[in-house]
Amino acid sequence: MTGRRPFRETPAVPSAGERKNFDTSFETLPAFQQMVMQRMIGDQLGMENPYYRVHEARAGASSLIDGKPILNFASYDYLGLNGDPRITEAVHQAAARWGTSVSASRLTAGEREAHRELEAALAGLYQAEDAIVFVSGHATAVSTVAALLEPTDLILHDALIHNCIVAGALMSGAVRRSFPHNDMNALEDLLRSERGRYKRVLIATEGLFSMDGDGPDLARIVELKNRYGCWLMVDDAHGLGVLGQTGRGIFEQANVDPGEIDIWLGTLSKSLVSCGGYVAGSKPLVDLLKCVAPGFVYSVGMPVPAAVAATTALRIMLAEPERVQRLQQNGARLHMKAQESGLNTGESWGFGVTPVIIGDTLRTVMLAQRLLKRGINAFPVLPPGVPEATARLRFFVSAEHTFDQIDAAIAATREEADRLAQEDYGMHALPRLLAAGASGLAG
């Protein structure tokens, strides 16, 4: 044995003629072509692009778009803490001392005491042994699922679970099965038929679903995971600060011991008005993630000002439960007014998120546009972000909103929805609307 590699003939360099047949254009990608077509149709219908609008002020209960004040129902600053003087002062001091980056992965030179303080506070919130924070909420879930599961494992998740969980499952190579939204009987059927075929099984759900505003029967899921010997992951990104008497989330709302959940997952960008994500659970879980989770190991550590912002916001939330109560009152008000107006709110519990389900994609986008012209910002959510025929406006409420603002927004939504119905505006009328738009352009 010489140790030499076996001889391989070097492939010939493609000729100029052959290279001409290689497709290196992004514009030929089907997704790009679909995007262009959608924009062309929108332009012909006089429909403004609802995405990437610039806010010219802090986006709280109100904001500023194109120099005009608006009522804002499109941001998830649930407790109204973004811009709180106590947080901005703490961030100012942290930036002055530590700068705006830790300039390294935490494994190398990026570890700071602020990270440990935030992780200890989050672990305490869930009565867990430890916690870990990531610089991205999405990467938190992707990295955690990918680090824990293998091709011999199974993940069972709610059909409406966030994309980050699905992406993590795909990255892990584990077998993935979904069960109908919040259907515990269907979950049990899957466990009964599938559990014995896999080494490990992870059940994943959300504490408060971000598109529908409802949540799971947490006690039942805990009972199932214990009976069938599974891990349970709960993404409470939209439950923290929103659910429970003091805002601790779905476990407080459901009166379930938080220690029954193996993996608590969440983000720092909503009630905690910062950026990033976290996992809370056992010390072995956190130790493992700190060694193998790609979104942690191969990423820069969280900037100290971001960590300080989240820690300060969490302390304020726990010290001022009246903020949570105001949010819950506002959520209940919006939900009640929408239902009284005959608007379809789906299965929403009426906390921080309430959808107004229109169904038709075209009508939903135009409804959002007309509301914005009336000074109300409620964002349209369309397939594939939600199931087909369930396009909706998603209303986020904040502790900062007033009942008058909420009532005005719902009244305007009802009025504009009725006008669009009278105009027979929707996907079914697209040929007629396009013809009318073309004649208008020609004129």
Res. 8 pLDDT band, cuts 50 70 90: low
Residue ranges with strand state E in 286-443: 353-359, 376-377, 379-381, 391-396
DSSP conformational letter for 424: T
Q: What is the mean pLDDT of residues 11-29?
A: 79
Q: What is the mean pLDDT of residues 295-308?
A: 98
pLDDT digits (tens, 9 = 90+) for 328-369: 999 999 999 999 999 999 999 999 999 999 999 999 999 999
Could you give the percent of the chain with pLDDT greater than 90?
85
- Residues linked to residue 381 through DSSP beta bridges, in sequence order: 392
Which range, of 42-56, 127-141, 235-249, 279-293, averages the lowest pLDDT?
42-56
Single-letter code of the amino acid located at 154 = L
DSSP 47-61: PPP-TTPPB-S--SS
Give the chain's length.
443
406/376 Cα distance (integer angstroms): 10
State the residue for tokens 């969490």. Answer: 314
pLDDT digits (tens, 9 = 90+) for 314-337: 999 999 999 999 999 999 999 999
Label residue 28 exposed, middle or buried (CB < 10 Å: 0-12, 13-18, 19+): exposed
How far is CA 126 from each of CA 76, 115, 135, 224, 293, rounded to the nearest angstrom? 22, 17, 20, 21, 21
Q: Where are the alpha helices (DSSP H) in 22-133?
A: 30-44, 85-98, 113-125
- Residues linked to residue 427 through DSSP beta bridges, in sequence order: none
pLDDT digits (tens, 9 = 90+) for 173-226: 999 999 999 999 999 999 999 999 999 999 999 999 999 999 999 999 999 999
Domains and CATH numbers, the chain: 47-76+322-442 (3.90.1150.10), 85-319 (3.40.640.10)
- Residues linked to residue 179 through DSSP beta bridges, in sequence order: 158
Sequence-distant (6+) residues with CB within 8 A of 142 are 164, 167, 168, 171, 295
Q: Which of 307, 288, 296, 302 is nearest to 143 (CA)?
A: 296
Three-state secondary structure call for residue 345 = coil
| Long-range contacts from 161-165, C-beta under 8 angstroms, 24+ separation | 161/204, 161/205, 161/206, 161/235, 162/206, 162/210, 162/235, 162/237, 163/138, 164/137, 164/138, 164/139, 164/140, 164/235, 165/141, 165/204, 165/233, 165/235
pLDDT digits (tens, 9 = 90+) for 161-171: 999 999 999 99
pLDDT digits (tens, 9 = 90+) for 93-134: 999 999 999 999 999 999 999 999 999 999 999 999 999 999
Could you give the percent of the chain with pLDDT greater than 70?
95
Q: Which of 128, 154, 168, 66 is nearest to 372 (CA)?
A: 66
Give the strands of the sheet with 62-65, arranged side by side.
62-65, 68-72, 376-377
pLDDT reading at 438 higher than 70: no
Residue 124: CB atoms within 10 A of its CB come to 13
pLDDT reading at 257 higher than 70: yes
Label residue 247 exposed, middle or buried (CB < 10 Å: 0-12, 13-18, 19+): buried
Single-letter code of the amino acid located at 87 = I
Q: What integer pLDDT is reported at residue 12 of this predicted model?
A: 72
Give the pair of three-digit tokens for residue 236.
């409470």
Computed over every residue of the chain, the mean pLDDT equals 94
**Diameter over CA atoms, the chain:** 84
302/115 Cα distance (integer angstroms): 7
What secondary structure, in 3-state letters, does 173-186 show?
Answer: CCEEEEECCCCHHH
Q: What integer pLDDT is reported at residue 436 of this predicted model?
A: 74
Q: What integer pLDDT is reported at residue 130 of this predicted model?
A: 99
The answer, yes or no, to whether the previous bond of 384 is cis (omega within 30 of 0) is yes
Res. 4 pLDDT band, cuts 50 70 90: low
Give the pair of three-digit tokens for residue 314.
């969490």
